[in-house]
Structure 1
Amino acid sequence: MATSRAGGRVLGYLESKKNLAGSACGVAGLGLTLAGVAGAYWPLVVAGLYGAGALIAPPERVAPPHHPDPAEQLGVVREDFGRLRAYLAEVELPAAAAGKLAELLEFYEALLDPGWVAEVLAADPESVHTVSRAVRQDVPECVDTYNRTRWWARLSPGGESPEQQLERQLAALFEEAERVTATLREAEALRQQTHTTYLEDRGRS
């Protein structure tokens, strides 16, 4: 493996701008040698010109790592939401929790549905992160821990029931989704207000 990496580095240098520029200058040195200018010191002249060419060549640009923008992330979250729905379709939940979960999923679906609302969501990375975390982590964890805890509760009943815990969790997620919506609504209201101010100022000028 180390040999292959070393071979890759050598090949990369051979194809680099530094080597190409140095080689071009080295060829020029050979030309001077054939013309009789370099004399007995032609190896030094060729090597010196190669080194000079390699030094003045611009460095290779290493592409920075690519991170998906919020719009790309939203497309992936939309796919994850589809998988979440398929998972939840196979899970049996108490009626009250199932109703709250259905409302929550409608909320997420409305935000993620392709269109101008999703475009507004994509413009707010923090809101994208919140929805993404809920779809990928929070909702599946709520349902999975409910099913696991319910089994243990049958063996040792007492305390707050798993059903009550699940309802509290879903209520907290619903409040979080409402806060996301409020944030996006405020951003749109600010955008409208800014445009109004711009038009009024333009009219005065």
Structure 2
Amino acid sequence: MESRKNIAGSACGLVGLVLTFAGVAGAHRPVVVAGLYGAGALIAPPERPALPDFPDPSAQLDEVRDDFEKLRGYLTDVELSAAAATRLRGLTDLLAALLDRGWAAELLTHDPEGVHVLSRIVRRDLPETVDGFVRTRWWTRMAPGSESPELHLERQLGLLTEDAERLAAGLREAEARRQESHTRYLEERGGTV
């Protein structure tokens, strides 16, 4: 009853009734009313399905923040060498700064790729890196003489830190471009500095 096709058909059918009462339709009035209804139904735009309701980037960031807090709890229980612990602390500090609710979060809400990078590091890469280390370290104790799992852990943490630093550099560049753009705007408006 509420479809666009029915509404358009009914409006055209009413025009047919008006034509019938005006005497224009003559003896063919039922055909005119039905034909106008059908024509209206055919020319009406089709119904569009509703767009899916995806969470906005700020809601996605909130979920990543929650997952990061869970991850931090997990990381406090893992025994690491001093060098690996230092690298891990540097990475988690950088991730905490990127996930902070300040200006970085505002920039990330306009950067879905950045949200994806953070999500990938927090939800998959960092937990897998640390879990792989814990598992391999246990096996290394059972069969000594193989390559130290600490070396792989430190390399992996270094690579993840580089990913996070690239993201931070991209956000910093975006903010610098915004500032430069505002300076140009003010200069073009007539106010020179």
Shorter-chain TM-score: what band?
A: 0.7 to 0.9
- In structure 1, what is the Cα distance between the partners aligned to 2:27 and 2:183? 80
Which residue is equivalent to 1:8?
Answer: none
| 2:140 and 2:146 in contact (8 A); partners too | no
Provide the rounded CA distance (Å) in 2 between the counterparts of 1:27 and 1:189: 61
What RMSD, in angstroms, separates the aligned Cα atoms of the two structures?
2.9
CA shift, 1:126, in A, is 2.8
Q: Distance in 2 between matches of 1:114 and 1:54?
A: 51
> Structure 1 stretches of 5 or more lacking a match?
1-13
Distance 2:19 2:190 in 1: 72
Letter in 1 for 2:78: V
After TM superposition, give the deviation of residue 188 of structure 1 in Å.
2.0
1:103 aligned to 2:94? no
Percent of aligned positions that are identical? 64
Distance of aligned partners of 1:109 and 1:34 in 2 relative to their CA distance in 1, 3 Å threshold: same
TM-score, scaled to structure 2 = 0.80
1:102-121 per-residue CA deviation (whole Å, 9 max, x = no partner) reads 22111111111111222123
Does the CA-based 8 Å contact 2:6-2:41 persist in structure 1?
A: yes
* Worse-matched range after superposition: 22-31 or 60-69: 22-31
User: Match for 1:71 among 44, 58, 66?
Assistant: 58
- Residue number among 37, 56, 59 corresponding to 2:43 in the alignment: 56
Match of 1:81 in 2: 68
Q: CA deviation at 1:96?
A: 2.8
Show structure 2 runs of 5+ residues with no match: none
- Counterparts of 1:116-155 in structure 2, within 5 Å, are 116-155=103-142
